[in-house]
A and B are shown apart, each in its own frame.
Chain A
């Protein structure tokens, strides 16, 4: 067995320390080492987006990042979304717009939506479809997901406007 490396990082706002093998992906570390199974493995080669997380606020496929690479960095997974009112609105929008069936792609979709709205708070439908196109959904045909992201953007804009 390979020597394990100690990694310290901030995960969902909490300081975390863990041991991992150098070959383990961030996805493996989240799921198998830290028990954060909300992040899913759909392909393990960066083609489906089910493992999307935010790394220092940037959208990444956690299957393509090594666990050791997150030393000193900050990771947000689906389990962390409920901490912030803004992301709770995105979750609620997915529920209200019925933007899921099996739900397996949903954690990645939520993370990708948050990254989009952080980057572009008023996306057009075309911009949503382009940004999200790295995240596959096999159940819904995508339209409800587009509606959910649009609705969340509108609600977040309304809150921002009111403040």
Chain B
């Protein structure tokens, strides 16, 4: 790990203490969603559709209900009727339990609670469901054709022109434009246009979805869930079950990986319905098969990209058409893909058309930089080809064309406070890039690729409470869920601001009753936005402590100063330690706490480049990574070790997406690889040592300069590997995953 740090010194920020949750995680003591146990708890299971597209003719649950040990059976009929019968309400209800139609293999149809998991499993086989199979549509391009099977008869295309008037699978059509792309493309010296496809891939978090629900005799509900945000669970329960918000308490557990995939729950509503009917706590834990079949993977795509440039290397025009599968219900991350794909560049003329299209696959969810990895794979491949045609070094080409502060973007707005040039320079100057690429030998062809990725990051709402105990130690309670070492990075910001040793700060995740509203831990927002809430809470706590010390001394609070654990009176010169001041809190008015509640509306974007050396075996089509470096602008690394770990983890997921992962379906739309043998994620043997270079261009909107870091490192990985494969064997992959079949096809060894 290398860090390029601007000259500024901190006491805690920039150090690498052990993470606060490590002890519980190496002893088995940490309680995840799947581990929650309640007295009298029953076990829920979900019956799922074997069909990709079918009408439900009849559901008969009588045989299952009669089985000893079965406590409750729930179907869509148990969901309260929608208050506003809007399409979105119907989609949310049908996503929970199908009512009239099933729209993908694995769609929930019915749920059972029983006294043991074994009885629940046996009872599933006693539910009789009659289906009338309908023709499925799995391919995004086929789904856009006029005669395609229609998933939702009421769906109309939403676009800038308003709502469409005819039934369609195209849920949305977005268009972004700057300059005159048609004219500029015609005038370009070099134009490259290519088409791309990417497979549906899953976040692959190791802990499946799980939720445990328990109702009180008064009708209030508590849910323990593995989730990226307790408040988002609360809000959805409120919408679907019509409970007052304050009657719903959501307790987020430790989260066994999420990567965007736990922004939405798939077990919580069902657990609540079953628990109410069974009159007992019910835990629903999904299996790996269910997790792959029926949570929210990210979109499979078809994309076309064209880029035009002048002979001197300047990009003059870009055009793209993005067709993103939304899965069974609208909501593809096509806008986010469009927003990211050309963001790193100064392109005066551009147009992006984006389509979100429903198909008979699971409804897509968020996956680490949603939409960006697919779109950047396509954009960077075309840009790499342009640079190759012009005979330019890929980094020099990007430095010539990169955006700067003030550069207008195709998707609107202008760049502010970006560190893209610094990232490219650090990439160019890295030991990896300066070293020669390994030579090819025989059928083992070696090559190097570089690509650049962007993620916009996020801010939004966060709440933090700091409470000082009588011994001076400080508890930190946040509504943000810790999915990435957040407790540690927040405690470090609190310690820095309070001038106290890190050991005096005890961070914890709150629930929806104990903290103020906090958005999901997603969009790489938490260390940044919740960090601002921490700094506000610390400043609030310091102000209150000064008032208490002033009261103790009988002086005016404005004459009390504080630095590094000691209060000083500017009038008398008296001093008092932090701990002593804390010990007087009850004599000076009661408990002392500081509160930080924010809604952060501006944040800094993140850029990351990858340098990859690959070895392509031209006999087998296999691709092996020899060396990998990721360079990223992290704003300021609070905990450089955890930041580097995020960069390595994102890169590792990108390697899986690039080379191995993809949903496989048969012609009827049944998923063929819903297990971790056939859906192959990278192992110890597939991921090389990933070198990390942290570039720090502090973001001025955060007191310590933080930018979100979690998502950007995945974005350009498939693009960089594709460029390296081209460098090695002279052919350009256009599909993800870049598996041996595709490589052998491109090499002309097997027929497509």
Contacts and interface: CB of A to CB of B under 8 A. Distances in A.
Contact of B288 (A37, A39, A43): A43
A28 to B, nearest CB: 7
Interface stretch (B147-155, B397-405, B681-689): B681-689
A98 B15 CA distance: 13
Contacts of B27: 38, 78-79, 81-82, 91
B251 interface: no
Interface stretch (B428-436, B524-532, B548-556, B641-649): B641-649
B35 A142 contact: no
A142 B681 CA distance: 12
A113 B567 CA distance: 49
B80 interface: no
21 contacts: A31-B35, A37-B28, A37-B31, A41-B285, A47-B677, A48-B676, A78-B28, A79-B27, A79-B28, A95-B18, A98-B641, A101-B649, A102-B255, A103-B25, A104-B32, A106-B25, A130-B685, A134-B683, A137-B206, A140-B648, A142-B683
A84 to B, nearest CB: 13
A133 B687 CA distance: 11
Given A43-B676, A98-B645, A103-B24, 19 more contacts: A31-B35, A44-B287, A50-B206, A77-B28, A78-B26, A79-B27, A82-B27, A91-B26, A91-B27, A98-B19, A98-B641, A103-B26, A106-B25, A138-B205, A138-B257, A141-B645, A141-B649, A141-B687, A144-B645
B610 to A, nearest CB: 13
A106 B288 contact: no
B683 A133 contact: yes
A110 interface: yes
A79 B27 CA distance: 6
Given A40-B256, A95-B18, A104-B32, A1 B119 contact: yes
Contact of A44 (B254, B288, B641): B288
A132 B684 contact: yes
A45 interface: yes
Contacts of A39: 28
A118 interface: no
A45 B288 contact: yes
Nearest to A46: B677
A1 B116 contact: yes
B737 to A, nearest CB: 16
Interface in A123-142: 128-130, 132-142
Tell me the interface secondary structure of chain A in the complex. Answer: loop
B693 to A, nearest CB: 15
Contacts of B204: 138
Nearest to B22: A95
Contacts of B288: 42-45, 48
A146 interface: yes
A52 B689 CA distance: 25
B207 interface: yes
Nearest to B115: A1
Contacts of A21: 118
Those 9 A-B pairs whose CB atoms lie nearest each other, nearest first: A38-B28, A104-B256, A103-B25, A141-B652, A141-B648, A78-B28, A47-B676, A37-B35, A43-B288
Contact of A94 (B22, B257, B642): B22
Nearest to B628: A141
Interface residues of B, number: 61
Contact of B649 (A32, A91, A140): A140
A40 B34 contact: yes
A127 to B, nearest CB: 11
B484 interface: yes
B564 to A, nearest CB: 28
Interface of A: 1-2, 21, 23-24, 28, 31-32, 35-45, 47-48, 50, 77-79, 81-82, 91, 94-96, 98, 100-107, 110, 128-130, 132-146
B28 A95 contact: no
A77 B526 CA distance: 34
Contacts of A130: 684-685
A142 B207 contact: no
Nearest to A139: B649
A79 B25 CA distance: 11
B121 to A, nearest CB: 9
Name the residue among A28, A38, A133 with the largest chain B CB count within 10 angstroms. Answer: A38
A29 B652 CA distance: 33
Contacts of B69: 1
B49 to A, nearest CB: 21
Given A44-B288, A98-B645, A102-B255, A128 B684 contact: yes
Given A41-B34, A140-B645, A110 B26 contact: yes
B118 A23 contact: yes
A92 to B, nearest CB: 8
A123 to B, nearest CB: 12
Interface string B353-365: 0000000000000
Nearest to A94: B26
B676 A100 contact: no
B677 A45 contact: yes
B514 interface: no
B677 A105 contact: no
A32 B35 CA distance: 9
Interface in B193-220: 203-208
